[in-house]
């Protein structure tokens, strides 16, 4: 499959997509919800898509999420459900709780139940066979936040660059507030190569921007498990009493870390936590001058999904296209624009 990369600029130019609010990263008993929407779908030409019979009038959409327990992924689910209601899609969302075996079963079940479009937020290539079988059955396979070997459309960002952008915000704050000297813990995850790249980007850039700062420890906090940010932060505070900066790969753990820092009596103007995902909790903390100092917000997954899917159905986007998402840093300087 040939793969075509569309930059943010070219994507905006050719499709008119404007970033909104909300992106990303992967493949238990799964929890699911399903909504059949009866609103009238927009008229469209049923442009032929190779190997599929999907049109804008018959979309049965399945969202495969790594979890539906964190604010970030709940937000994506809510956004997709709203798009489905607007455009008359039948919509199903499934959480596979970061278990690749469950993800494979969920993909198979989606195909069996009649889904003809699947947005898979898997973490690695463990689901490739199941996704290829879905394609062979005429399903349009979309990916978000990761690029595996099997997809029709991939919406992604450079995970390394996301890491550097987290440290760009942190570096500016450290140099201004702490005179360039911070005691830092980095929260990353080794669950897949993309997240490893994000964590490496965090480390490389903060060393470049703040050479007089110290990275006390790089912690693998696992997958998006509720409570991990609290547990690890409590441990780090006990281990490093002089800790005053946490750089985190995502808002879920970062916002938990905020509360752990406050509970330990360490919250002050000289403590900073930086992450990405642009969740409401993170933005509220920043606006309230809490120890959460910065986050990154991605373009709306739901709006980008709809736009890319329609472009593909209309024959205006090739199979194997990768669309790069827009990213907006949010700090105290501009947080009012995002509340």
**From first to last of its 339 residues, what are the pLDDT tens digits of the chain?**
445 444 333 333 333 333 222 333 333 333 444 433 333 333 333 334 445 689 999 999 999 999 998 888 999 999 999 999 999 999 999 999 888 899 999 999 999 999 999 999 987 889 999 999 999 999 999 999 888 999 999 998 889 999 999 999 999 999 999 999 999 999 998 877 888 999 999 999 999 999 999 999 999 988 667 889 999 999 999 999 999 999 999 999 999 999 999 999 999 999 999 999 999 999 999 999 999 999 999 889 999 999 999 999 999 999 999 998 889 999 999 999 998
CATH number for position 53 = 3.40.50.2300
Let me know whether 36 and 55 are in one domain: yes
Residue 64 and residue 109 in one domain: yes
In a domain? residue 337? no
């079988």: which residue's tokens? 133
Domain-embedded: residue 334: no
- Give the whole-angstrom CA distance, residue 187 versus residue 167: 12
Q: Taking Cα atoms as reference points, which of 89, 95, 92, 97 lies closest to residue 110?
A: 92
> Do 18 and 96 have their domain in common?
yes
Per-residue H/E/C for 24-56: CCCCCCCEEEEEECCCCCCCCCCCCECCECCCC
205 and 145, same structural domain? no
Residue that has been written with the tokens 């929407």 in this structure: 37
Domain of residue 172: give its range. 159-297
Q: Is residue 288 a contact partner of residue 139, using CB atoms and an 8 Å limit?
A: no
My answer on whether 187 and 233 are in the same domain is: yes
Sole residue written with tokens 């990303």: 24
Give the H or E element holding residue 197. helix 193-209
For residues 256 and 236, is the Cβ–Cβ distance under 8 A? no
What's the number of domains the chain is made of? 2
On whether both 229 and 117 belong to a single domain, the answer is: no
Q: Is 264 found in the same domain as 315?
A: no
Position 145 in a domain: yes
pTM, 2 dp: 0.72
Q: Residue 330: inside a domain, yes or no?
A: no
270 with 181, same domain: the answer is yes
Cβ neighbours of residue 334 under 8 Å, at least 6 residues apart? none
């Amino acid at each position: 499959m040939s793969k075509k990369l569309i930059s943010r600029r070219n994507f905006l130019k050719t499709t008119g997509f404007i970033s909104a609010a909300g992106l990303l990263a992967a493949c238990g008993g799964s929890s699911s919800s399903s909504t059949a929407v009866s609103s009238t779908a927009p008229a469209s030409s049923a442009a032929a898509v190779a190997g599929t019979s999907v049109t804008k009038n018959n979309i049965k959409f399945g969202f495969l999420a790594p979890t539906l327990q964190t604010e970030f992924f709940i937000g994506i689910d809510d956004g997709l459900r709203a798009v489905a209601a607007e455009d008359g899609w039948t919509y199903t969302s499934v959480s596979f709780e970061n278990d690749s075996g469950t993800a494979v079963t969920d993909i198979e079940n989606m195909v069996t139940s009649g889904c003809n479009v699947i947005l898979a937020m898997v973490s690695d290539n463990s689901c490739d066979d199941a996704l290829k079988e879905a394609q062979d059955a005429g399903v349009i396979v979309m990916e978000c936040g990761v690029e595996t070997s099997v997809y029709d459309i991939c919406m992604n960002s450079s995970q390394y660059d996301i890491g550097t952008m987290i440290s760009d915000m942190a570096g500016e704050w450290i140099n201004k507030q702490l005179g360039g000297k911070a005691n830092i813990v980095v929260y990353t995850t080794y669950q897949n190569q993309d997240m490893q790249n994000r964590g490496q980007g965090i480390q490389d850039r903060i060393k470049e921007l703040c050479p007089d700062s110290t990275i006390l420890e790089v912690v693998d906090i696992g997958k998006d498990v509720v409570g991990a940010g609290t547990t690890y932060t409590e441990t780090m505070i006990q281990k490093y009493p002089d800790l005053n900066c946490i750089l985190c790969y995502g808002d879920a753990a970062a916002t938990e870390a905020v509360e752990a820092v406050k509970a330990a009596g360490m919250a002050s103007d000289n403590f900073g936590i930086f992450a990405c995902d642009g969740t409401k909790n993170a933005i509220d903390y920043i606006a309230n001058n809490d120890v959460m100092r910065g986050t990154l917000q991605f373009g709306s997954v739901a709006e980008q999904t709809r736009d890319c899917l329609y472009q593909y159905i209309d024959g205006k986007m090739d199979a194997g296209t990768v669309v790069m998402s827009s990213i907006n840093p949010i700090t105290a300087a501009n947080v009012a624009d995002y509340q």
